[in-house]
């Protein structure tokens, strides 16, 4: 019997790189959502171990391992690459039952998937080697809520299949129906935290793009204007405009709608209004002149990472 590492070594470089990117996304999601990171990585690393087998080899291996083969699988043996990889790990005694299940259903998804299963389906779909318009937005959603990103990605995948005249796997349709039942619960859980996460995303982006002195203020106790302010500065009006654009882009990718923008390419103050979040990008003199931080001195400063 080959070990999973030996099987990995036999994959094409392209497949190995994809699997390593999926493992990296899995690790990040595991840390954010309190899942065992080593198992999450393993799921990413091993999910496509059987992806490069021929149709006949997949069918034969599925039969040997006692993996169920339905009519759809007979027609499209590639559907068996998840179940076969999962059975290999089971046979070798590697990985938890959650990992085996996640790998088994990583292609079709399935109703009742736990967090590991949802994370793997998402990670496979959003790893940065993939290219489609909403990829980054779904990845960002997954950082906040696995269930929500899972649902959005299922919808996206089903739309894609429909657009190409392909029949979706029944498990995928059931998975979507299953998540829609949870929608209300999800909305209730996620929305109250969201403005904070928007603020953190804006602040992180500002820092990455070399914004100066980035401050996040919690406004919830001091005004109804917004939940959070993010304040930062740039050296020149050109940098102010560029910083505002980077932040605007990051929030747009995360699916956060911009309500108003004040200021443009030559402004000393650009304001991005997202309702619950307002971002202020200043030149340093302008920031000192208006001194919002003193004006709103009662607001708590939020630490972000």
SS3 content of the chain, % helix, strand, coil (to 5): 60, 10, 30
Taking the complex as a whole, how short is the minimal distance between the CB of residue 177 and Fe ion, in angstroms? Answer: 23
Taking the complex as a whole, how short is the minimal distance between the CB of residue 298 and Fe ion, in angstroms? Answer: 50
Binding mask 69-108 for Fe ion (x = CB under 5 A): ----------------------------------------
Nearer to Fe ion, 98 or 124 (CB): 124
- Which residues does residue 283 pair with via DSSP β-bridges, in sequence order? 234
Angle of helix 115-126 versus helix 135-144 axis, rounded to 10: 160
Residues 270-289 that bind Fe ion (CB under 5 A): none
Pairing of strands 277-283, 228-234: parallel
Taking the complex as a whole, how short is the minimal distance between the CB of residue 123 and Fe ion, in angstroms? Answer: 9
Taking the complex as a whole, how short is the minimal distance between the CB of residue 141 and Fe ion, in angstroms? Answer: 19
CA–CA separation, 117 and 106 (whole Å):
7
**Interface region with Fe ion, contact rule CB under 5 A, candidates 30-38, 47-55, 56-64, 181-189:** 47-55
Regarding 48 and contact with Fe ion (CB under 5 A), the answer is yes
**Interface region with Fe ion, contact rule CB under 5 A, candidates 42-50, 227-235, 260-268, 278-286:** 42-50
Binding residues for Fe ion, rule CB under 5 A, total: 2
Taking the complex as a whole, how short is the minimal distance between the CB of residue 39 and Fe ion, in angstroms? Answer: 17
**Interface region with Fe ion, contact rule CB under 5 A, candidates 40-48, 64-72, 149-157, 198-206:** 40-48
Nearer to Fe ion, 123 or 281 (CB): 123
CA–CA separation, 13 and 125 (whole Å):
19
> What's the CA dihedral at 95, 100, 106, 108 to 10 degrees?
180
- Which residues does residue 277 pair with via DSSP β-bridges, in sequence order? 228
Regarding 127 and contact with Fe ion (CB under 5 A), the answer is no
- On the 0-12 / 13-18 / 19+ scale of CB atoms within 10 A, 10 is exposed
Taking the complex as a whole, how short is the minimal distance between the CB of residue 210 and Fe ion, in angstroms? Answer: 35
**Interface region with Fe ion, contact rule CB under 5 A, candidates 123-131, 152-160, 210-218, 225-233:** 123-131
* Member of 73, 124, 200, 253 binding Fe ion (CB under 5 A): 124
H or E element, residue 136? helix 135-144
Nearer to Fe ion, 83 or 211 (CB): 83
Taking the complex as a whole, how short is the minimal distance between the CB of residue 291 and Fe ion, in angstroms? Answer: 52
Nearer to Fe ion, 48 or 140 (CB): 48
**Interface region with Fe ion, contact rule CB under 5 A, candidates 3-11, 46-54, 205-213, 232-240:** 46-54
Taking the complex as a whole, how short is the minimal distance between the CB of residue 15 and Fe ion, in angstroms? Answer: 8
Contacts of 225 (CB under 8 A, 6+ apart): 219, 278
Asked whether 226 and 280 are in contact (CB, 8 A), the reply is no
Residue 29's nearest CA partner among 47, 15, 17, 41 is 41
- Strand positions, DSSP E, 144-221: 212-218
Nearer to Fe ion, 59 or 279 (CB): 59
Asked whether 251 and 195 are in contact (CB, 8 A), the reply is no
Residues in contact with Fe ion by CB under 5 A are: 48, 124
């Amino acid at each position: 019997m080959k070990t999973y590492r030996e099987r990995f070594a036999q994959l094409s470089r392209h497949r190995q790189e994809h699997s390593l990117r999926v493992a990296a996304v899995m690790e990040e999601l595991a840390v954010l959502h309190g899942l065992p990171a080593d198992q999450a990585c393993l799921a990413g690393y091993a999910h496509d171990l059987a992806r490069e087998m021929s149709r006949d080899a997949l069918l034969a291996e599925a039969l040997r391992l006692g993996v169920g083969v339905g009519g759809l699988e007979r027609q499209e043996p590639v559907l068996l690459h998840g179940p076969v990889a999962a059975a290999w790990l089971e046979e070798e005694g590697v990985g938890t039952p959650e990992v085996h299940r996640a790998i088994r259903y990583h292609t079709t998804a399935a109703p009742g998937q736990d967090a590991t299963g949802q994370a793997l389906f998402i990670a496979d779909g959003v790893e940065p080697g993939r290219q489609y318009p909403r990829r980054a937005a779904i990845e960002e959603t997954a950082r906040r809520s696995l269930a929500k990103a899972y649902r959005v990605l299922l919808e996206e995948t089903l739309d894609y299949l429909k657009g190409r005249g392909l029949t979706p796997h029944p498990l995928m349709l059931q998975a979507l129906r299953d998540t829609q039942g949870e929608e209300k619960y999800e909305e209730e859980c996620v929305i109250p935290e969201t403005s904070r996460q928007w603020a953190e995303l804006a602040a992180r982006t500002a820092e990455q793009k070399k914004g100066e002195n980035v401050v996040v203020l919690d406004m919830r106790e001091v005004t109804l204007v917004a939940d959070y302010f993010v304040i930062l500065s740039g050296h020149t009006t050109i940098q102010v405009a560029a910083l505002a654009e980077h932040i605007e882009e990051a929030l747009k990718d995360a699916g956060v709608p911009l309500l108003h923008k004040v200021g443009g390419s030559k402004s000393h103050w650009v304001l991005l209004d997202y309702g619950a979040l307002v971002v202020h990008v200043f030149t340093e003199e302008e920031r000192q002149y208006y001194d919002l931080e003193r004006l709103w001195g009662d607001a708590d400063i939020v630490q972000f990472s």
